[in-house]
Structure 1
Amino acid sequence: MRRSQPRPRTKTKPDKSNMDPVKFQIRSSNRSSSSSSSNSIYTLTKPNPKHTKSNLLLTVASTATALAFLFVFYSLLTPGSLRYSVVIDGGSTGTRIHVFGYRIESGKPVFEFKGANYASLKLHPGLSSFAGDPEGASVALRELVEFAKGRVPKGVWRETEVRLMATAGMRLLEGRAQEKILGVARRVLRGSGFLFRDEWASVISGSDEGVYAWVVANFALGSLGGDPVKTTGIVELGGASAQVTFVSRETVPAEFSRTVSFGNVSYNLYSHSFLHFGQNAAHEKLWGSLVSRDRNSAVEPTREGKHADPCAPKGYNLDTITQKHLTGFLAGESKLAASFEAVGNYSECRSAALTILQEGNDKCSYQHCSIGSTFTPKLQGRFLATENFFYTSKVLSSLINVFMLLMYVNSSGPTRKHHSAHAFTLRM
């Protein structure tokens, strides 16, 4: 079980000047939507203006789903006292637990996302990887529960709610496999010592994922409550799916339409989750398309008898890296990786990517479909790219820092190399 470094827990005094509770509502325009996402009122704390853009990206990527889940489900508790809630985010490549401390003010929970009021831990692989061995999920879940117990005072365990919300990785599994894993999760959480009900462990819709990320991002940016056209859209790239959510001026079909009310302002959103178009799942889809293309066109394999992957940089070891990082519902990709060689060709990669994006486009029954047969309005305004977009940009930024350092050292001459190397701090 691979473990990510938990967020540090430090004691800090709350800055009351930053406490500015606000409320918003989310409604689905589709009457068949579940009641959990309709007419819900949430309260947030005014964001700290000192937060950097990178912190915002990371916050949206790691906590949007968990925060929104808390805002939907909360108890009216004794005002003023510090309370806790625990949310487990079951992603496609890992399972992350979030521990939130909050206070009740005017009957609503007010969250402060810093210091002792927030902690998280992520374990790999994701819950969906246990489709063939549901009991295996209990090991990671118990470790996550123990992490939460170390952050929540024992005296309030029984009144601290714990909830589990699984996303695209689990949505890819058939219903029976989902229920077996959820059954194990419910058993572990029932015995956790925290307050739990079976219905609090579930698989959520991709549309909800997108709306949650949109709300968190726009609140943090300070655009909620203002002109809808000045809000920021979200393109969220997960491992198994990609969510697109933004304010659209077009008439959006009911199945893609969501309404968010913030104070006296209503935002009409387009929100959809493109399953199989997350970073890992899309690569698997790309490989399948390339294999099919090669077979149909009699394309010659590489010297090693492998298919060429134009979207992976030349020299990239697909087999080793895939085996290390991909598990569960993406296990098939590990097998495919051994059949490919990275060749790095931008024009061919773009062509191959467009092929899978336009697959099924001939069945589009809407005014326009950009991806397959799914309705997609024209993109409008600014967008924030989160999750795997953030992590990829972080890696590339680190590589650029290394490159710039080497260039500087090499151009400084032999007498300055030693001193120059110590003049840089690489943020990896």
Structure 2
Amino acid sequence: MLILSISKTMAKAGVTSTSLLALLLLLFVKFCASDTSILNRKAAPRGRVVSEDGRYVIVFHAGGVFTMVHVFRFDENANLLKINGSLEVFHQAQKTISSYAEDPAAILSFVAPLLEKAIYAVPTNLQPETPVIFGAYDELYLLGEEKYEKILDVVRGLFSESPLLYKAEWVNILPAATQGAYLWESINYLMGNVGGDYSKTVAVLNQESASVQMAYAVSAKAAANAPKFPGVEEYITAHHIQSNNYYLYSHGYFPFGAYSVRTAILKYTNDSYTYCVTNGYNVQYNYYGEMYNVRAAPSGSSYEKCRANVLQALHLDATCYVENCTFDGAWNGGGGAGLEKIYLTNGFQNTGADVGITTHSKPSTDLRLLEYEKFAKVACGASTFEDAHNLFPSVPLFDLPYLCMDLVYVYTVLVDGFGIDPTKLVTAADSVPYGDSSMRIQWALGLALELISSNHTKMQDITNVFAPSRTFVQIV
């Protein structure tokens, strides 16, 4: 029985929440009463109007703000097929798994219904060969191993009793560098760049809540000559996409995401006040249990003084053992044709849309990074919270006091950190047209695509989808 098995799995993981029994009873009643439950669907397809050809992949995206599930369908050549008229089946819960660190069992209250909806999108006869993968963002590491493993074990217990193809290692934390690589695959696949020379692809610079990532393609020669960094993640990995081979440079910078970097910047104040927040703001910023004093300077925010703190936080002077480094002592991959066209995604795009640099009403916007600097100076010049709100009414109220800091950081990390010319034309995007539809840019599609494109004849032979580094051709 599904519920009993989940209970045993959580008990092994050391979950002893007092709400466990009530939650399991609630789920049991819901599952048994529902005419679309997992239990019943093993025996009946429930009359769904879904073509039973193609290969399906289910990917859970457990981010810093939401928990989402995606269902993709591909043909034998790894072309994306529609499911009931849509390029994907997508559902989300406005909850994060990290917020349940003290009560992992409660995660079932929103993960189980998401799984239920995902399974419903897959024809019954194809469910046993449909992989289900759960990728959690790397900020989950901040909880400590004991807590995050309990969380992941609860999810593993749920998935193991589903009718889907499941491996315990497919429920894990997704490294930021791997996320960047999958984002690169996703956007270049949707744009139709896969299949041509690496020089025809675009680079991706992505910002999430805890990290930022850079990913772009390099030549086989550049991959062969890449410097080695013992004890450090591989900067360049091999990827197989729709019968095409690529070498990708990908690196994740932690903690330099939209929310985590605030703590790094606050460390470079004198602990009495900061020039990066709106005048009159005085709170404690809680990031994964660590508290930071946030006190606005008596004179208010200042673009120049805030930028000085951001430059310190980027560790531009960190020791770098090779030429061509970005920030925090990281290698930049050497550059090249794959870095000529740059796409900014997620946090970079969203921050721009909040202040009017970009927009969510169009899939993409071409811009120069100088625009981030211009709006940063306006935000840092706001004299009060009300003034800032009048200037930028679309910015969420929680983020508004930090708008000066956030915009200064976006400009500084892109120009000083990644070394992009501020006058260079780049593209901020949140979706890409595909056929007669469009799809949001997301790493989940890239993961599913690489799995489908794998040289393995059976999906169950694939072990670690969270650290792709297969060698598919001999480099000469």
Question: Under TM normalisation by the shorter chain, which class is it?
Answer: 0.5 to 0.7
- CA displacement at 1:80 relative to structure 2: 6.6
Tell me whether 1:94 sits opposite 2:94 in the alignment.
no
- CA displacement at 1:150 relative to structure 2: 4.5
Which range moves more in the overlay, 185-194 or 380-389?
A: 185-194
Q: Quote the Cα distance in structure 1 between the aligned partners of 2:304 and 2:356.
A: 24
Tell me whether 1:308 sits opposite 2:280 in the alignment.
no
Among 96, 111, 120, the residue aligned to 2:80: 111
Q: Quick check: 2:131–2:166 contact (8 Å CA) kept in 1?
A: yes
**Equivalent residues in 2 for 1:188-207 (5 A)?**
188-207=158-177
Tell me whether 1:391 sits opposite 2:350 in the alignment.
yes
Gaps of 5+ in 2: 1-50, 229-233, 361-393, 397-476
Residues 82 and 261 from structure 1, CA distance in 2 versus in 1: closer, same or farther, beyond 3 angstroms?
closer
- CA displacement at 1:165 relative to structure 2: 1.5
Residues 103 and 242 from structure 1, CA distance in 2 versus in 1: closer, same or farther, beyond 3 angstroms?
closer
> CA offsets per residue over residues 210-266 of structure 1, 9 Å max, x none?
111111212222333334233211111011111111235764324211234567875
Among 240, 247, 253, the residue aligned to 1:274: 253
Q: Quote the Cα distance in structure 1 between the aligned partners of 2:334 and 2:304.
A: 25
Tell me whether 1:285 sits opposite 2:264 in the alignment.
yes
- CA displacement at 1:190 relative to structure 2: 2.3
Q: Quote the Cα distance in structure 2 between the aligned partners of 1:382 and 1:189.
A: 40
Name the amino acid aligned to 1:384.
Y
**Equivalent residues in 2 for 1:13-92 (5 A)?**
81-92=53-64
Alignment partner, residue 97 of structure 2: 127
Q: Quote the Cα distance in structure 1 between the aligned partners of 2:358 and 2:325.
A: 36
Alignment partner, residue 235 of structure 1: 205
Among 326, 331, 343, the residue aligned to 1:375: 331
What's the secondary structure of 2:166's corresponding residue? coil
Name the amino acid aligned to 2:306.
C
What's the secondary structure of 1:279's corresponding residue? coil
Name the amino acid aligned to 2:354.
V
Name the amino acid aligned to 2:211.
S
Alignment partner, residue 309 of structure 2: 352
What's the secondary structure of 2:342's corresponding residue? strand
Q: Quick check: 1:80–1:103 contact (8 Å CA) kept in 2?
A: no
Q: Quote the Cα distance in structure 2 between the aligned partners of 1:137 and 1:262.
A: 34
Residues 267 and 280 from structure 1, CA distance in 2 versus in 1: closer, same or farther, beyond 3 angstroms?
same
Q: Quote the Cα distance in structure 2 between the aligned partners of 1:175 and 1:358.
A: 27
- CA displacement at 1:282 relative to structure 2: 0.7
Q: Quote the Cα distance in structure 1 between the aligned partners of 2:253 and 2:58.
A: 28
Q: TM-score, normalized by length of structure 2? A: 0.54
Residues 368 and 345 from structure 1, CA distance in 2 versus in 1: closer, same or farther, beyond 3 angstroms?
same
Q: Quick check: 1:230–1:381 contact (8 Å CA) kept in 2?
A: no
- CA displacement at 1:389 relative to structure 2: 1.4
Residues 337 and 387 from structure 1, CA distance in 2 versus in 1: closer, same or farther, beyond 3 angstroms?
farther
Q: Quick check: 1:237–1:243 contact (8 Å CA) kept in 2?
A: yes
Task: Give the RMSD, CA atoms, in angstroms.
Answer: 3.5
Name the amino acid aligned to 1:352.
N
Among 150, 156, 159, the residue aligned to 1:186: 156
Q: Quote the Cα distance in structure 2 between the aligned partners of 1:374 and 1:142.
A: 39
Relative contact order, CA 8 A, sep 6+: which one is greater? 2
Which range moves more in the overlay, 197-206 or 238-247?
A: 197-206
Q: Quote the Cα distance in structure 2 between the aligned partners of 1:382 and 1:165.
A: 28
Alignment partner, residue 121 of structure 2: 151
- CA displacement at 1:88 relative to structure 2: 0.6
Alignment partner, residue 50 of structure 1: none
Name the amino acid aligned to 1:98.
H
Q: Quick check: 1:318–1:341 contact (8 Å CA) kept in 2?
A: no
Q: Quick check: 1:126–1:169 contact (8 Å CA) kept in 2?
A: no
Gaps of 5+ in 1: 1-78, 296-300, 302-306, 402-425
Tell me whether 1:336 sits opposite 2:292 in the alignment.
yes
Q: Quick check: 2:353–2:359 contact (8 Å CA) kept in 1?
A: no
- CA displacement at 1:375 relative to structure 2: 1.7
Alignment partner, residue 381 of structure 2: none
Q: Quote the Cα distance in structure 2 between the aligned partners of 1:271 and 1:372.
A: 15
- CA displacement at 1:169 relative to structure 2: 2.0
Name the amino acid aligned to 1:112.
L
Alignment partner, residue 17 of structure 1: none
- CA displacement at 1:182 relative to structure 2: 0.9
Residues 268 and 400 from structure 1, CA distance in 2 versus in 1: closer, same or farther, beyond 3 angstroms?
closer
Name the amino acid aligned to 2:227.
P
Q: Percent identity?
A: 24
